[in-house]
Amino acid sequence: MSESILKKANSTQYHLTKIVAETQSICQEICELGELSTELEARFDFTSNELATTVDRAAMTSKQLEVHAAFWKEQALACQAMACRFERTHEKLKEHIKGVMKFKETSELQGHTHRYVLSAVKPRLVVQGTELPREFILIETREVPDKEKIRAALKEGKEVPGAHLETSYALRPYLNSKKVGSK
């Protein structure tokens, strides 16, 4: 289902590109002829109608893409939670196996086809920060841009080297005020 929505979005993008190219072609022909012929007017009307249809399709597809994106984000979170459960369970299983080895006072457990061997590794460091002497504490300092201060200065007309305000736009779909389905 999600693949078909992606295909529909790609198709809509393709149609928009085609409509823009056709509109540019019509405008170029009008400039060359110096007038709007009935054939060009008919092509222009057809293209305008195609654009309106494609805009409506784009709005519906946009909503469907938002729903699918939310669904897959939720699925990703569920998968991440499941992966964490498997990791925790794996760690518990290993601790239980170590516990059995400790109880049996052995460094190896052997099955019919597999075995576990307990081998020494680099000691794990356990730090309780409140008890450490000051000489073992690192102080980290981060430098980050103060975006609110920069934005305020730029809005006041001040020049801030390395920063500028850039016009940006948000695309918001709306239903037309005329009744949907009426002509």
Residue ranges per structural domain of the chain? 2-155
Q: Per DSSP, what are the bridge partners of residue 109?
A: 116
Q: Please state, as a whole number, how many other Cβ atoms lie within 10 Å of the Cβ of residue 37.
A: 11
Helix (H) / strand (E) element for 116: namely strand 115-117
Give the whole-angstrom CA distance, residue 28 versus residue 43: 13
- What pTM did the predictor assign? 0.60
Tokens of 87: 């990791």
Per-residue pLDDT of the chain (183 residues), as tens digits, is 778 989 999 999 999 999 999 999 999 999 999 888 999 999 999 999 999 999 999 999 999 999 999 999 999 999 999 999 999 999 999 999 999 999 999 999 999 999 999 888 898 888 886 788 888 888 999 999 999 999 999 999 999 999 999 988 877 777 777 655 555
CA 175 to chain centroid: 26
Residue with tokens 């709005």: 59
The pLDDT assigned to 181 comes to 59
The pLDDT assigned to 172 comes to 75
Angle at 173 between CA 8 and CA 49, to 5 degrees: 65
The pLDDT assigned to 127 comes to 86
Tokens of 133: 């002497």
